[in-house]
Chain A
């Protein structure tokens, strides 16, 4: 064994990029990994539901009525004899879709807003961030209910309304990232090359701020899903014939005394998803956040 030369060291350094490094750290966090696996599984099931669901979505069996879990119906049936597993699978499609699409809306607005404010600075920045402060102080939940009342309860609006109130923290995070990045040499170089501002923001600033954005995104999805469940539970969110986990829980709660499984299984699905997302988010924060990294 000879002592490593400088070129050897340089090569090992080259070997792990920031992302590989983060992946290695994430892999060591067992809870986060379990969360990731459950999440991927749920997303896969949701995507494949129309083909793999054991029964049809609207298929009823009124003679059977509500029955506890059995070989034919693994999670039992509801009062109309509909298969609960099928209901949960279709509900999960909507719950997950709301979670991810509304978060995507929030990401789009938040990143653009924060990047522009942080990069431009000055009065524009002050005005944009003051607006964020003002909206921040508003009662979100009340405003979403208001929007649902006024524009009717449709799904597209639900996505947009939730996305429109969840972008604020994203904008703040992005702005502080961009503010620290734009002092650095590579941005100066890009400016001196004469690149247009839009290109600088899109190609140089946003990719470099991805870490905190990914972490915060993972933590936004569960809060969005929770909001959807809240609204659906109150009867102000997803409407029948569509269903979601929040709606299934509210039905389950009505008849939980006689048929507790109708409350238990949709609740389990929602809680498992929220658990997975939160653990994954915490794990990613430790893995990606350079400040808290131990090595």
Chain B
């Protein structure tokens, strides 16, 4: 097990190096500098600015010094908001995005998990078809459409819930979390249904039934652990999807999170901000993929052997 974890962690290092390097040089390919403005700038000011952002160095020196800063966790100053560092912007936006992603995941796991398990208990019955049809709708209805529709119904027509903001009024987190989580709830419903169906036909479930356990205990104590493995394996990629999905949801609901900062930075051509948050998000995603692989391996010893370092 430890060998497996160590091997997967070593694998993550080249991934991150590639992300950092590719992003760094791609950004340098972008047309126009951050200080190309209509107004003429005094040469000394220009020079000072370039020195501050290290633009006076050669490309390779810039890269080396960026890597050096990065090893201390320093992502440098923002191009667009002088005086603010990329670290500060991320620190301001990320907790909001993380909270949103957490609630969305909670919605997805609870609704999706229950729907999937319920459907799997009586396959090919009404109890199966209804949750699975709803799941299909969830998959096909993109958040950029679901969000506005939910706002229209619950925010405007019924006037039950606030339609924008974050921590401004009670209940303003419900619609964003449901919007972001619904597609994942649908996937989780399908995965947990398939996983449970496979597990329920196995010998150890028959054994559990044979020793006279009530059905709910068979499910909760024996079947769930095996049946949820596909869901756990899905959580890593799902987290990556939640982060990028939050770009749209934060835009719809005007939530001041990292996703919105990122999109704004893309419009403003705030290159250091884009670079810094790309690296930050990529690191997170790599970390969560790693985590979900490890948890999946921990839950299923057979998988552990299959994934063992070659």
Query: Could you tell me if A148 and B140 are in contact, using CB atoms closer than 8 angstroms?
Result: no
A50 lies within 8 A of chain B by Cβ? no
CB interface residues, A 247-295, toward B, < 8 Å:
249-250, 252-253, 256-257, 260, 263, 267, 270-271, 274-275, 278-279
| Min distance, Cβ A211 to any Cβ of chain B, angstroms | 21
Q: A142-B282, A234-B251 are in contact. Are A249 and B26 (CB under 8 A)?
A: no
| Min distance, Cβ B170 to any Cβ of chain A, angstroms | 23
| Min distance, Cβ B93 to any Cβ of chain A, angstroms | 14
What B residues does A249 contact at CB under 8 A? 144-145, 148
Among the stretches A4-12, A41-49, A130-138, A187-195, the one at the interface with B is A130-138
Residue among B31, B152, B252 with max Cβ neighbours from chain A (10 Å): B152
Among the stretches A15-23, A69-77, A104-112, A225-233, the one at the interface with B is A225-233
Interface string of B231-271 (1 = CB under 8 A from A): 00000000010011001100110000000001100110100
B11 lies within 8 A of chain A by Cβ? yes
| Min distance, Cβ B11 to any Cβ of chain A, angstroms | 7
Among the stretches B14-22, B72-80, B205-213, the one at the interface with A is B14-22
A52 lies within 8 A of chain B by Cβ? no
A114 lies within 8 A of chain B by Cβ? no
* Nearest B-chain residue to A150, judged by Cβ: B30
Q: A138-B19, A149-B266, A150-B26 are in contact. Are A263 and B240 (CB under 8 A)?
A: no
What A residues does B14 contact at CB under 8 A? 134
Q: A142-B282, A249-B144 are in contact. Are A263 and B152 (CB under 8 A)?
A: yes
8 Å CB contact of B266 from A138, A145, A260: A145
Q: A150-B27, A230-B144 are in contact. Are A145 and B282 (CB under 8 A)?
A: no
A216 lies within 8 A of chain B by Cβ? no
Query: Could you tell me if B152 and A146 are in contact, using CB atoms closer than 8 angstroms?
Result: no
Bound: A229/B146 CA distance, A: 13
Bound: A249/B266 CA distance, A: 21
* Nearest A-chain residue to B289, judged by Cβ: A137
Interface string of A121-143 (1 = CB under 8 A from B): 00000000000011001111111
Interface string of B260-286 (1 = CB under 8 A from A): 001100110100001000100110011
Query: Could you tell me if A142 and B278 are in contact, using CB atoms closer than 8 angstroms?
Result: yes
Task: Count residues on chain B whose CB falls below 8 Å from chain A CBs.
Answer: 44
- Dominant secondary structure of chain A at its interface with chain B: helix
What A residues does B142 contact at CB under 8 A? 226, 229-230, 270-271, 274
* Nearest A-chain residue to B252, judged by Cβ: A253
Bound: A147/B143 CA distance, A: 23
* Nearest A-chain residue to B18, judged by Cβ: A134
Query: Could you tell me if B140 and A246 are in contact, using CB atoms closer than 8 angstroms?
Result: no
Query: Could you tell me if A274 and B140 are in contact, using CB atoms closer than 8 angstroms?
Result: yes
| Min distance, Cβ B264 to any Cβ of chain A, angstroms | 10
B139 lies within 8 A of chain A by Cβ? yes
CB interface residues, B 111-144, toward A, < 8 Å:
136, 139-142, 144
8 Å CB contact of A260 from B30, B31, B152, B262: B152
Q: A234-B263, A253-B252 are in contact. Are A139 and B145 (CB under 8 A)?
A: no
Query: Could you tell me if B29 and A263 are in contact, using CB atoms closer than 8 angstroms?
Result: no
Query: Could you tell me if A257 and B281 are in contact, using CB atoms closer than 8 angstroms?
Result: no
A56 lies within 8 A of chain B by Cβ? no
Bound: A246/B148 CA distance, A: 13
Query: Could you tell me if B29 and A150 are in contact, using CB atoms closer than 8 angstroms?
Result: yes
Query: Could you tell me if A139 and B144 are in contact, using CB atoms closer than 8 angstroms?
Result: no
Q: A149-B269, A271-B140, A274-B140 are in contact. Are A141 and B244 (CB under 8 A)?
A: yes
* Nearest B-chain residue to A31, judged by Cβ: B136
What A residues does B19 contact at CB under 8 A? 138
A236 lies within 8 A of chain B by Cβ? yes
CB interface residues, B 18-43, toward A, < 8 Å:
18-19, 23, 26-27, 29-31
* Nearest B-chain residue to A236, judged by Cβ: B266
A65 lies within 8 A of chain B by Cβ? no
| Min distance, Cβ B131 to any Cβ of chain A, angstroms | 16
Bound: A66/B308 CA distance, A: 62
8 Å CB contact of A278 from B23, B26, B139: B139
Interface string of B65-96 (1 = CB under 8 A from A): 00000000000000000000000000000000
What B residues does A275 contact at CB under 8 A? 136, 140
Task: Pick 22 A–B contacts, CB within 8 A, sort by A.
Answer: A133-B11, A134-B14, A134-B15, A138-B19, A139-B243, A142-B244, A145-B262, A149-B269, A150-B31, A152-B31, A226-B142, A230-B142, A230-B247, A234-B251, A236-B266, A246-B144, A249-B145, A253-B148, A256-B152, A263-B145, A270-B145, A275-B140
Measured CB to CB, the residues of A under 8 A from B are: 133-134, 137-143, 145-152, 222, 226, 229-230, 233-236, 246, 249-250, 252-253, 256-257, 260, 263, 267, 270-271, 274-275, 278-279
**Which 5 residue pairs across A and B have the least CB separation, nearest first?**
A141-B244, A253-B148, A150-B30, A267-B145, A274-B140
